[in-house]
């Protein structure tokens, strides 16, 4: 059993494969705080994952099983996974979400290039969001997507933006109801009624606390300027 | 007609949402957003009701004539039948 810290939560993981240890290494915790929970993967957890992704080797199955169990446990701590590319700029975080293949990572990459040295990835694929009474904070974790882009950092979430491909660059505010549907679409849905209620309750708080936007964009500096001006400065075109 | 087991209706941030849970979440991976009369009809269908019963419930709850109520009830239940949410 090794100790890890993600989203300010310390927990233990008992793993069977070296891949899991390697994968989690940047988040290992060496402090004195006790574990809030432990994650242990049994053979039947691997079999459940194998049904979903039969092409995976056992060590990859263990990795996704750890992530699934972690998401379940973190829900109790008011933390959710939100499928998005998240970046930090000047101390604030901006999250881009869209169905896979739309280009959220591409848009994030444009931000990093445009704000050279000022911006960095929190997590390019599956960051954790902690929703507390006043703020929403995004945290890095090792599940950073196929390009492996992410850092063990956190930042206050300033805006969430849903992307679609377009011929012009334009942005508008999204309503709370519209945002709620987007969030439900891009998060891991729990199985039990209790956990689903908890998730819905957290998403309800999230849409009250964070501004959300809908961006149509191409791949250009102008796309960055349009999304940055709206989300960071409140200027809608 | 009756809504199948495994759906919960919740009001979140002024939206009325129906989400599947448990086994149902594996078959139906969507979310249903309901307006006020949709919530009314959904609740009737959770208890189980036939089309005529639903039309009657609508005309007594809302200021609406029977033809309009029937049209709405049919559209609503047809959508649920199509999505295999009612049995």
- The strand ranges marked E within chain B are 7-12, 15-20, 32-34
| Whether A236 contacts chain B with CB within 8 A | no
Specify the pTM: 0.92
Total residue length of chain A: 237
**A188, pLDDT greater than 90:** no
Q: What are the tens digits of pLDDT across the range A131-149?
A: 998 899 999 999 999 899 9
- Which one of A75, A99, A175, A181 would you mutate to disrupt binding with B, by most B Cβ within 10 Å of its Cβ? A181
pLDDT of A110 strictly over 90: yes
pLDDT, chain B, mean: 93
Residue B27 in this model has a pLDDT that exceeds 90:
no
* Average pLDDT over chain A, rounded to an integer: 95
3 state SS of A98: coil
Is residue B26 predicted with pLDDT exceeding 80?
no
Chain A contact probe: residue of B6, B11, B13 with most A CBs at under 10 A: B13
Residue A172 has pLDDT above 80, yes or no: yes
Under a CB-based contact definition with an 8 Å cutoff, are residues A217 and A166 in contact?
Answer: yes
Per residue in A64-104, pLDDT (tens digit) is: 999 999 999 999 999 999 999 999 999 999 999 998 889 99
pLDDT for the residue numbered A237:
63
* Smallest CA–CA distance from B17 into chain A, residue: A181
Residue B21 has pLDDT above 80, yes or no: yes
Average pLDDT, integer, range A152-175: 97
Q: Is A181 within 8 Å of B31 when comparing Cβ atoms?
A: yes
Task: With beta carbons under 8 A apart, name residues in chain B contacting A177.
Answer: 13-15, 33
With CA atoms as reference, report the closest residue to A73 among A228, A198, A208, A211: A198
SS3 (DSSP) at B75: helix
Q: Spell out the residues 6+ positions from residue A216 whose beta carbon is closer than 8 angstroms to its own.
A: A163, A164, A165, A166, A168, A169, A170, A171
Q: What is the ipTM of this complex?
A: 0.84
pLDDT reading at A223 higher than 80: yes
Select the residue from B12, B14, B20, B33 to test the A interface by mutation, using most A Cβ atoms within 10 A: B12
Average pLDDT over residues A25-39: 97
With 70 as the cut, is the pLDDT of residue A217 above it?
yes
pLDDT on residue B15: 94
Read off the pLDDT of residues A21-30 as tens digits, 9 standing for 90 and up. 999 999 999 9
Q: Which residue of A has its CA nearest to B21?
A: A191
What is the percent of chain A where pLDDT is above 90?
A: 93
Rounded to a whole number, what is the distance in Å from the CA of A182 to chain B's nearest CA? Answer: 10
| pLDDT 10s digits, B46-72 | 999 999 999 999 999 999 999 999 999
Q: Give the minimum alpha-carbon distance from B4 to chain A in angstroms, rounded to a whole number.
A: 15
Query: How far is it, in rounded angstroms, from Cα A182 to Cα A177?
Result: 9
């Amino acid at each position: 059993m090794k100790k890890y810290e993600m989203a300010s939560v310390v927990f233990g993981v008992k793993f069977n494969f070296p891949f899991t240890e390697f994968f989690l290494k940047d988040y290992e915790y060496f402090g004195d705080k006790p574990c809030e929970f432990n994650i242990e993967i049994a053979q039947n957890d691997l079999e459940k994952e194998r049904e979903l992704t039969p092409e995976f080797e056992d060590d990859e199955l263990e990795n996704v099983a750890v992530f699934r169990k972690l998401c379940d446990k973190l829900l109790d701590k008011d933390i959710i996974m939100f499928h998005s590319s998240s970046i930090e700029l000047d101390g604030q975080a901006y999250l881009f979400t869209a169905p896979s293949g739309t280009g959220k990572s591409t848009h994030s990459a444009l931000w990093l290039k445009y704000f050279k040295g000022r911006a960095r990835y929190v997590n390019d694929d599956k960051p954790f969001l902690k929703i507390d009474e006043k703020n929403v904070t995004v945290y890095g974790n090792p599940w950073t997507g196929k390009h492996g882009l992410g850092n063990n950092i956190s930042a206050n979430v300033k805006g969430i933006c849903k992307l679609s491909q377009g011929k012009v660059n334009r942005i508008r505010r999204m309503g709370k109801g519209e945002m709620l549907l987007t969030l439900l679409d891009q998060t891991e849905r729990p199985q039990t009624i209790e956990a689903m209620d908890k998730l819905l309750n957290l998403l309800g708080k999230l849409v009250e606390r964070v501004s959300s936007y809908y961006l149509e964009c191409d791949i250009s500096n102008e796309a960055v300027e349009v999304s940055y001006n709206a989300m960071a400065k409140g200027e809608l075109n | 007609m009756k809504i199948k087991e495994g759906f919960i209706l919740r009001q979140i941030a002024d939206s009325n949402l129906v989400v599947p849970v448990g086994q149902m979440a594996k078959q139906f991976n969507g979310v249903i957003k309901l307006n006020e009369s949709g919530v009314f009809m959904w609740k009737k269908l959770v208890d189980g009701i036939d089309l005529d019963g639903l039309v009657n419930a609508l005309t007594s709850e809302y200021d609406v004539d029977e033809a309009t109520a029937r049209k709405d009830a049919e559209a609503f239940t047809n959508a649920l039948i199509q999505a295999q949410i009612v049995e």
